[in-house]
Amino acid sequence: MKESIIQIKGMHCNACEMLVKEALEEQPGVIKADVSHIKCVAIVLFDNNITESQLKSIIKNEGYEVQ
């Protein structure tokens, strides 16, 4: 199991958090995602079936910027 801390720009509310969290947790290989619009971060636990680059692409596809 791996953990990635991804900085996210553009989240402004709880709905933004839920959108990103659900998009991440739908993906095979993602075990858990904690997302905070206040801290502008997603902390994701995942296995070898997905990469950090893919996690960032998922967030970008939801309309947010990642660092």
Domain ranges (residues) in the chain? 2-66
**What's residue 56's pLDDT?**
98
pLDDT for 2-58, tens place per residue?
Answer: 999 999 999 999 999 999 999 999 999 999 999 999 999 999 999 999 999 999 999
Place of tokens 């995602």: 33
Domain 2-66 sits in CATH at: 3.30.70.100
Confidence of residue 67 (pLDDT cuts 50, 70, 90): confident
**What's residue 9's pLDDT?**
97
**What's residue 12's pLDDT?**
94
**What's residue 58's pLDDT?**
97
Instruction: Identify whether the C-beta of residue 12 lies closer than 8 Å to the C-beta of residue 31.
Output: no
Place of tokens 């709905």: 15
